Amino acid sequence: MLFCHPESEAKAARHRGLAKQKGVSGLPGIAFFDESGEVILQIPPSEHSLAQFAQYERRARQLLAWREAAQRGDPRAAAELLIAQLEERQLPREAAEKRREALRDESADERARLDALLLDLRIGEQLAAVHNDLEARRRLGEQFLKMLRGGTRPSPRVSRGLWFVIMEHCEATADVNGFVVGLDGLRGDVARTAGGAAWGTRMIADYEQKLARLRTATGGGR
């Protein structure tokens, strides 16, 4: 289903309010529905090529196929569907954890993937809770850095806020090595999401300058 831009002067208003009802926000956005009107896949607002649209369509069809197979009792399809829905950020944490409890016979790869994706959700919740509190963000950054150093890692698609609060903590405590951990994580996120756009290059350059100042202030740091 395609929504016209509100400035397109389209006369028909048959589906007025449907985007809001289905949680579709921003333009241009894409959403795929099943025949009952349930959103199968929603693509965040951005510019989309025809090749990308075809890729999104294949993804939506795969999600439908997994759902149908899961309904027939296929444990692999149930796990793949849950993983994909978490990757597409379609489920809140509590609902996802309940779905996971109902899974049967997770493979080792499925277990690791689900652990990382559910960790992503918990990290997102924690970041949202301290959004406007600098000291709380720094404490959370310390907690996240300890988590990473202990060997627990989120998925590559975790909120970049994870890397921001780690670097805020490390800048405040003059921890050069920890700042490098955060900056390396941010580089990976920007490489995945920015597509070479100028904003990504500027963001990394800003944090590289902060790292240089931190090294100077600490005589090379630790």
**For residues 115-141, average pLDDT:** 96
Domain assignment present for residue 168? The answer is yes
Between the alpha carbon of residue 86 and those of residues 8, 19, 24, 33, the distances in Å are 34, 21, 17, 17
Domain assignment present for residue 141? The answer is yes
Domain assignment present for residue 3? The answer is no
Say what the pTM is: 0.77
Domain assignment present for residue 35? The answer is no
State the Cα–Cα distance between residues 103 and 83, nearest whole angstrom.
Answer: 11
Task: Return the percentage of the chain with pLDDT > 90, whole number.
Answer: 65
Domain assignment present for residue 59? The answer is no
User: Is 121's pLDDT higher than 80?
Assistant: yes
List the domain range (segments joined by +) for residue 139: 132-222
pLDDT digits (tens, 9 = 90+) for 156-201: 999 999 999 999 999 999 999 999 999 999 999 999 988 888 999 9
Band (1; pLDDT cuts 50, 70, 90): very low
Q: Among 11-15, 143-147, 212-216, name the one with the lowest average pLDDT.
A: 11-15
Domain count across the chain: 1
What pLDDT is recorded for position 4? 47
Domain assignment present for residue 91? The answer is no
Scan for tokens 């309940």, then name that residue: 98
Instruction: Write out the two tokens for 22.
Output: 């289905």
Can you count the helices (H) and strands (E) in the chain? 9, 2
